[in-house]
């Protein structure tokens, strides 16, 4: 394949020679024309979303099914995932319109159609696939690295009320596919490998096709901040937390564990507000359970080197009001 790892390795030393010495955390104003990028289509690819944070899956499970049935039996055996919508992937800076949809807030009454009242963010990271595989032929785990090109930050915006009503039994659909934001700079895996650590213990041990020894868990600090429309409403929703990104492969899957287990590290408002039961303080006397119109969410992240950073730029989006009927 013309895109296999050797070519990627070749490009990097050349570019290092052409740029000045790296500077710590360069503040850049990205003047990408967001509208053009968000509407241009160069290829028809696929987008898959995994569910690989044990804390997130457990929190959501507790909220929706109770403590005993929090994690489904398959969760610890395989990286659960589902297909997402490629057409609604947008670059950082693209405004996100609050979706309308069908929902059933009161189970004793018929469902209704209207603007989502439970608009949420989801802090994620994502990797791009390189090279190609043949239909019918798996990528063995010892070759997976040849197909993992690089990473971006992602916000998997979610409408929890639309999602809750539609998702049984075929999974999330319109509660997700109204928009998904990614950061614009794809950080190559070679830039991240210096920050790889050993993988977390997986218990039970996965089946052989999912086992690999080499550490592919990445120490990337991640931050989510919310800026409301009122003055002084600009606060980090989550403090610095330690992110372990452990990649396990068959056809390039991704696993992602949040440490430590404290509320300051939860990656969605569903969890931070515990399904709307707690208020999240955003400063200036204001609180949130879910997102309001005009809220701007910014996700940032970086690996901390010795006197330098490897970061991702911004993954940002502002919420526009729902369209009137």
The whole-angstrom separation of Cα 269 and Cα 224 is 11
Q: Is residue 44 at the binding interface for a copy of itself, with CB under 8 A as the rule?
A: yes
Cis peptide before 68 (omega within 30 of 0): no
Distance, in Å, from the CA atom of 298 to the CA atom of 236, rounded to the nearest integer, reads 9
- Burial of residue 36 (CB within 10 Å: 0-12, 13-18, 19+) is exposed
Number of Cβ within a 10 Å radius of residue 6:
8
**Residue 230 is among the residues annotated as catalytic for this protein:** no
**Distance in Å from the first CA to the final CA of the chain:** 50
Out of 22, 24, 138, 284, point to the residue binding a copy of itself (CB under 8 A): 138
| CA distances (Å), origin 277, targets 66, 118, 121, 160, 320 | 15, 12, 17, 14, 24
Least separation in angstroms between CB 99 and a copy of itself: 4
Distance CA 256, CA 88 (A): 23
- Is 51 annotated to bind a ligand? Reply is yes
Residue 7 annotated as lining a ligand binding site: no
Site string for a copy of itself, 238-267 (x = CB under 8 A): ------------------------------
Catalytic residue among 41, 56, 147, 234: 56
What part of residues 166-185 is at the interface with a copy of itself (CB under 8 A)? 166-175, 177-179
The verdict on whether residue 202 carries a ligand-binding annotation is no
Q: Identify the CA nearest to 80 among candidates 45, 44, 63, 56.
A: 56
Q: Does 46 bind a copy of itself (CB under 8 A)?
A: yes
Binding residues for a copy of itself restricted to 51-90, rule: CB under 8 A: 51, 72, 74, 77-78, 80-88
Kindly write out the interface string for residues 87-116 of this chain, putting x where it contacts a copy of itself by CB under 8 A and - elsewhere: xx--------x-xxxx-x-----xxxx--x
Q: Looking at beta carbons only, is 14 or 170 nearer to a copy of itself?
A: 170
278 CA to centre of own chain: 23
Nearer to a copy of itself among residue 37 and residue 78 (C-beta): 78
* Residues belonging to the active site: 56
Q: Residues in the site for a copy of itself, rule: CB under 8 A?
A: 41, 44-46, 51, 72, 74, 77-78, 80-88, 97, 99-102, 104, 110-113, 116, 135-138, 159, 162, 165-175, 177-179, 207, 323
For the annotated binding site for substrate, the residues are 51, 65, 163, 167, 257
């Amino acid at each position: 394949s013309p895109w296999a790892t050797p070519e990627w390795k070749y490009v990097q030393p050349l570019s290092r020679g052409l740029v000045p010495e790296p500077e710590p955390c360069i503040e850049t104003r990205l003047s990408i024309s967001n509208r053009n990028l968000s509407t241009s289509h160069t290829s028809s690819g696929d987008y898959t979303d995994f569910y690989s944070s044990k804390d997130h899956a457990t929190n959501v499970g507790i909220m929706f099914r109770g403590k005993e049935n929090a994690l489904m039996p398959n969760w610890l055996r395989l990286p659960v995932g589902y297909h997402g919508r490629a057409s609604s992937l947008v670059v950082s800076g693209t405004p996100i319109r609050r979706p309308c949809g069908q929902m059933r807030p009161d189970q004793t009454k018929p469902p209704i159609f209207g603007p989502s009242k439970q608009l949420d963010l989801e802090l994620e990271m994502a990797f791009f696939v390189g090279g190609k595989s043949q239909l019918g032929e798996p990528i063995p785990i010892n070759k997976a690295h040849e197909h993992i090109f690089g990473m971006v930050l992602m916000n998997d915006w979610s409408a929890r009320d639309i999602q809750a009503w539609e998702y049984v039994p075929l999974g999330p659909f319109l509660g997700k596919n109204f928009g998904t934001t990614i950061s614009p700079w794809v950080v190559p895996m070679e830039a991240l490998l210096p920050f790889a650590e050993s993988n977390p213990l997986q218990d039970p041990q996965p089946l052989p096709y999912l086992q690999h020894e080499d550490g592919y868990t990445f120490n990337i600090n991640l931050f989510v901040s919310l800026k409301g429309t009122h003055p002084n409403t600009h606060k980090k929703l989550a403090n610095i937390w330690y992110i372990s990104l452990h990649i396990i492969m068959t056809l390039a899957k991704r696993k992602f564990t949040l440490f430590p287990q404290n509320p300051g590290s939860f990656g969605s408002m569903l969890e931070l507000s515990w399904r709307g039961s707690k208020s999240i303080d955003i400063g200036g006397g204001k609180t949130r359970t879910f997102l309001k119109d005009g809220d701007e969410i910014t996700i940032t992240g970086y690996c901390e080197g010795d006197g330098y950073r490897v970061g991702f730029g911004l993954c940002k989006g502002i919420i526009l009001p729902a369209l009137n009927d």
